[in-house]
């Protein structure tokens, strides 16, 4: 049986449903060394809920939260992209350590691009794709993004955790 993912937009949930999903996010665990690349998932979601430019998502599989990410508008330079407004920034992407290695990251990254295209159509933006930066010491993350159709666009040295790879996928 193959795994599948659903994206749950936290800003679209009522208070009770959001609290349930955030409780599941609080239970997520980072894999060894993952703390170097990703922040606390609950904190990332709470910060994103407070900012108009950020759209936080819970990655759900089998009825439970297995990951998180945020799509952010107007911040692409944080991943080494020249034009902040040309693309969405995919940030804070992580899959719970107990669910890694099953292809969920690849599925969720591809779904994030589809979701960004829907946001662009709904909000009337001019974004043409999604950009992210992934640490060079994270080969599993790089591989998952490549499998999801992202192209490596070169090294980015602006990250807090050392050299990054800027990766891009058009809608």
Q: What is the pLDDT of residue 1?
A: 41
Among 156, 161, 149, smallest CA distance to 33 is for: 161
For the chain, the maximum distance between any two Cα atoms, rounded to a whole number of angstroms, is 42
Cβ contacts of 120 within 8 Å, gap of 6 or more: 88, 126, 127, 171
pTM, rounded to two decimals: 0.93
**Could you tell me the two tokens for 125?**
């933006």
Among 149, 134, 129, 150, smallest CA distance to 86 is for: 129
Task: Compute the distance between CA of residue 9 and CA of residue 18 in angstroms, rounded to an integer.
Answer: 9
Q: What is the pLDDT of residue 162?
A: 84
Q: What is the pLDDT of residue 111?
A: 98
**Could you tell me the two tokens for 142?**
């790089």
Task: Compute the distance between CA of residue 57 and CA of residue 55 in angstroms, rounded to an integer.
Answer: 7
Interstrand relation of 54-61 and 6-9 (parallel, antiparallel or unpaired):
antiparallel
What pLDDT digit, counting tens, does each position of 113-138 carry? 999 999 999 999 899 999 999 999 88
Q: Is 78 exposed, middle or buried (0-12, 13-18, 19+ CB in 10 A)?
A: middle
**Positions in the chain short of pLDDT 70:** 1-2, 36
Torsion-angle region of 63 (φ positive above 0: left; ψ -120 to 50: alpha; else: beta): left
């Amino acid at each position: 049986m193959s795994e599948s993912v659903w994206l749950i937009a936290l800003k679209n949930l009522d208070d009770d449903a959001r609290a349930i999903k955030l409780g599941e996010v609080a239970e997520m665990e980072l894999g060894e060394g993952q703390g170097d690349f990703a922040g606390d998932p609950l904190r990332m979601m709470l910060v994103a809920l407070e900012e108009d430019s950020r759209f936080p998502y819970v990655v759900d599989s089998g009825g439970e939260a297995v990951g998180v990410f945020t799509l952010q508008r107007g911040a692409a330079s944080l991943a080494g992209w020249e034009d902040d407004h040309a693309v969405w920034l995919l940030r804070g992407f992580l899959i719970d350590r107990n669910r890694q290695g099953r292809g969920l990251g690849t599925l969720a990254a591809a779904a994030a691009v589809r979701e960004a295209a829907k946001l662009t159509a709904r909000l009337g933006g001019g974004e043409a794709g999604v950009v992210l930066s992934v640490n060079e010491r994270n080969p599993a993350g790089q591989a998952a993004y490549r499998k999801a159709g992202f192209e490596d666009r070169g090294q980015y040295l602006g990250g807090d955790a050392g050299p990054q790879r800027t990766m891009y996928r058009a809608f």
